[in-house]
Structure 1
Amino acid sequence: MLVRIVLICSFLMTVACANRSEKSAFIDTMVAKHRFSQHELEVLFDQVKINDDVLKKIAAPAEALPWYKYRKIFLTDSRIEEGAAFWRQHAETLKHVSEQYGVPPEVIVAILGVETLYGRRSGSYRVIDALSTLAFAYPPRSRFFAGELEQFLLLCREEKVDPLQPAGSYAGAMGMPQFMPSSFRSFAADFDRDGNRDLWHDPKDAIASIANYFKAHGWIKNQPVAVRVFAKNENYKALLNDEIKPNLRIDELESARVEFSRPLPLDSKVKLLAFEQEHGNELWAVLDNFYVITRYNHSSLYAMAVYQLSQALLNYQLPTPYE
């Protein structure tokens, strides 16, 4: 028992030393690269905490679930009803933003619904704690999160925000649309032109920021997102792989005896995806706009949840079905 305790203590001391070394190197980089004050950063990071709960959460993301379980999280009556109410409340802003950026209102609202329940759950972790934990104590993605921590400190300096104040998700995503710091700096919009890009409290800025993000990542106005397809035999399986970007012609799917639930232009590029149900797979042909949604979260489950929620919201808003 004593030997075990000594080994555990030794391990924890090693981790703590590694964290201090990573933190010191990060501070040195920020001073040299961006002319931050060494003293101010040292004082700041003395108040930063490595959060074990962050490490537990990132090790078990919801995207690891099968589709039929993942879908149930987001496609609920309450989320649809709340989304329809949000749409009605912000209809004018959504109309103007959709016209300006070419992104449909239902997709923007669905992103907000999946991310934060329309702004009600934007996260309770201090962003600097979450990002520091993942940058200094999560080796698999430390490089990525160190980059986001760098962007966060730059953002706080630009927006004149105390780095200890913003709260967000366990991964450091912020505000109603859950932008990572790099996305915030690049795509956040001040739609109401009040001089402040407020993604925590201003739905207008959040709505416009999502649309701006999608447009910048290649959203195609009036293009479908996904179409349900049905396989006549097992030939379709040869077309499945881990890629998400559309790279197949319509005739290639038809040659594999895959039938479309509704026609698409013959020059469309599509990707065949299979979503796990309790009894077999559900097949979808997805287009470029589906891929754009995955730039928000690199998961086909996430993009399909956004798409299906958007269609549920549209059906709730309109008297006639829409797919």
Structure 2
Amino acid sequence: MRRISLTLLVTAFAALFSAAAIADQRFDRFVADFWPTAKASGISSSTYRSVFTGMDPDPDTLRLMEKQSEFVKPVWDYLDSAVSEARVTRGRELLTEYDTVLRNVEARYGVDREAVLAIWGMETNYGGFMGKHNVIRALATLAYAAPRRTKFWRSELVKALSIVQAGHVRFSDMEGSWAGAMGHTQFMPSSWEAYSADYDGDGRRDIWTSVPDALASTAYYLKKHGWQTGKTWGYEVVLPRSFDFRMADDDMSLTLGDWRRQGVRRANGRDFPRPGDKAILVMPAGASGPAFLMLRNFYVIKRYNNATAYALAVGHLADRIIGGGTLAGDWSREYMPLSRSETAELQSELNRRGFNVGAADGRIGPATRRGIRAYQKARGLIPDGYASVVLLARIKLDS
């Protein structure tokens, strides 16, 4: 019996190593076939050989590129972690430590220093963890094996090779995420090419080891995407009881003065300093959580990362770093967001009851929000359009 078990174990290991060898052979073939593309983009044969000799696919990248998270992290859990007291405290220390750099960056690019600092804190915990993957290896793995966006990954790979060839960073020091985001503030190679800055004038745009270069690069990125100097990202607000929740569609833009005439007030009781600024009402957890009027700078932050929770966390962290308080509103934490499969179930239930939302694809778009609002209104609920486990349970109880 032991002999049989040992034979099975040896066979399993042989199969594993055989599969790995086949994968490496295919990767080697990809590297050889990609050389003409790299050469046409100006990459030298010496750079190409020095980078790819002995390289194999990044196993973490192979594993994570197919990983689909079934559950959505609630915005309140995200904020608890992203805007922790430890991160706020460290941000305040660094605001002092890098005072001269941040003031110069703010003057040069017109981007408020606390916003730049908050993105640094969000992306790598102020340089505490910038990723442990070699960026070229990760991008080569994606260009070789990713089932989607092949053209994008190949383009990023060429740009990463160009960065090394130009001497901005050594290949061995080019660390980042499993998907190729690099340095203190996690730029993709294309973003580095377009927006990185040489703060100290040494001829290198070094976002890996030079904090000033990384901060300047982030400010330049925000400036080029439309940052409005001296203006905030948004305001936490309180809605009147009679509020028309159809106005909270993540799209309707009114001046702050017009929102005030609708009965919307700042949560801290102060007036809006510039009533002419335009804003969109956003309720990340529907009527069960805090509401915000988001200004232009909020959507500039979303150009860095398109998640509403991310941009809210950056804005809130920036406020906390310069002395702002915690959010005034409470999250009703039982109103958990839906997973992808639960969203598809909700869509099917709405369609079955005549609230047509289109295909039950597990994605919440305008049609699904309209269907949710129509259902909520028909049942005497607050029509906030927010998909939660509470709403799904309520629909399933309907006859």
Task: Tell me the TM-score normalized by structure 2.
Answer: 0.67
% identical aligned pairs: 29
Contact in 2 for aligned 1:227/1:260 (Cα 8 Å): no
Deviation string 1:39-65 (CA, Å, 9 cap, x unpaired) is 763563343332232244453579942
Q: Which residue of the partner structure matches residue 81 of structure 1? A: 89
Q: Which runs of 5+ in 1 are unaligned?
A: none
Structure 2: which amino acid aligns with 1:44?
V
Contact in 2 for aligned 1:315/1:321 (Cα 8 Å): no
Contact in 2 for aligned 1:134/1:141 (Cα 8 Å): no
Per the TM alignment, residue 322 of structure 1 is displaced from its structure 2 partner at its CA by 11
State the alpha-carbon separation in 2 of the partners of residues 255 and 89 from structure 1.
39
1:302-321 aligned within 5 A? 302-315=310-323
State the alpha-carbon separation in 2 of the partners of residues 62 and 70 from structure 1.
16
Task: Tell me the TM-score normalized by structure 1.
Answer: 0.81
Structure 1: which amino acid aligns with 2:282?
L
Deviation string 1:229-252 (CA, Å, 9 cap, x unpaired) is 3333573246425xxxx6612389
Aligned length: 311
Per the TM alignment, residue 28 of structure 1 is displaced from its structure 2 partner at its CA by 2.1
Contact in 2 for aligned 1:123/1:169 (Cα 8 Å): yes
State the alpha-carbon separation in 2 of the partners of residues 14 and 247 from structure 1.
54
Query: Is 1:117 equivalent to 2:125 in the alignment?
Result: yes
1:59-78 aligned within 5 A? 59=67, 64-78=72-86
1:10-49 aligned within 5 A? 19=27, 22-34=30-42, 36-37=44-45, 41=48, 44-49=51-56
1:201-216 aligned within 5 A? 201-216=209-224
1:122-141 aligned within 5 A? 122-141=130-149
Q: Which residue of the partner structure matches residue 236 of structure 1? A: 245
Query: Is 1:199 equivalent to 2:207 in the alignment?
Result: yes
TM-aligned CA distance change 1:260 to 1:49, over 3 Å? farther
Name which of 249, 270, 283 aligns with 1:274: 283
Q: Which runs of 5+ in 2 are unaligned?
A: 1-7, 329-399
Structure 2: which amino acid aligns with 1:275?
P
State the alpha-carbon separation in 1 of the partners of residues 29 and 58 from structure 2.
17
State the alpha-carbon separation in 2 of the partners of residues 210 and 73 from structure 1.
22
Contact in 1 for aligned 2:235/2:294 (Cα 8 Å): yes
Name which of 230, 246, 265 aligns with 1:222: 230
Per the TM alignment, residue 9 of structure 1 is displaced from its structure 2 partner at its CA by 10
Structure 1: which amino acid aligns with 2:56?
K
TM-aligned CA distance change 1:14 to 1:274, over 3 Å? farther
Contact in 1 for aligned 2:207/2:213 (Cα 8 Å): yes
Deviation string 1:275-311 (CA, Å, 9 cap, x unpaired) is 138x923322211111111111122211111111111
**Matched position secondary structure for 1:139:** coil
TM-aligned CA distance change 1:160 to 1:94, over 3 Å? closer
Q: Which has the higher contact order (CA 8 A, sep 6+)?
A: 1
Per the TM alignment, residue 149 of structure 1 is displaced from its structure 2 partner at its CA by 1.0
Q: Which residue of the partner structure matches residue 187 of structure 2? A: 179
Structure 2: which amino acid aligns with 1:185?
E
State the alpha-carbon separation in 1 of the partners of residues 70 and 123 from structure 2.
12
Structure 2: which amino acid aligns with 1:45?
F
Contact in 1 for aligned 2:184/2:214 (Cα 8 Å): yes
Per the TM alignment, residue 145 of structure 1 is displaced from its structure 2 partner at its CA by 2.0
TM-aligned CA distance change 1:11 to 1:66, over 3 Å? farther
Contact in 2 for aligned 1:188/1:205 (Cα 8 Å): yes
Q: Larger Rg: 1 or 2?
A: 2
State the alpha-carbon separation in 2 of the partners of residues 106 and 313 from structure 1.
7
Contact in 2 for aligned 1:236/1:257 (Cα 8 Å): no
TM-aligned CA distance change 1:321 to 1:134, over 3 Å? closer
Per the TM alignment, residue 226 of structure 1 is displaced from its structure 2 partner at its CA by 1.1
Q: CA RMSD in A?
A: 3.6
TM-aligned CA distance change 1:40 to 1:289, over 3 Å? closer
State the alpha-carbon separation in 1 of the partners of residues 69 and 245 from structure 2.
29
**Matched position secondary structure for 1:307:** helix
Q: Which residue of the partner structure matches residue 154 of structure 2? A: 146
**Matched position secondary structure for 1:176:** coil
**Matched position secondary structure for 2:314:** helix
State the alpha-carbon separation in 1 of the partners of residues 281 and 27 from structure 2.
43
Contact in 2 for aligned 1:311/1:322 (Cα 8 Å): no
Deviation string 1:101-126 (CA, Å, 9 cap, x unpaired) is 11111111111111111112111111
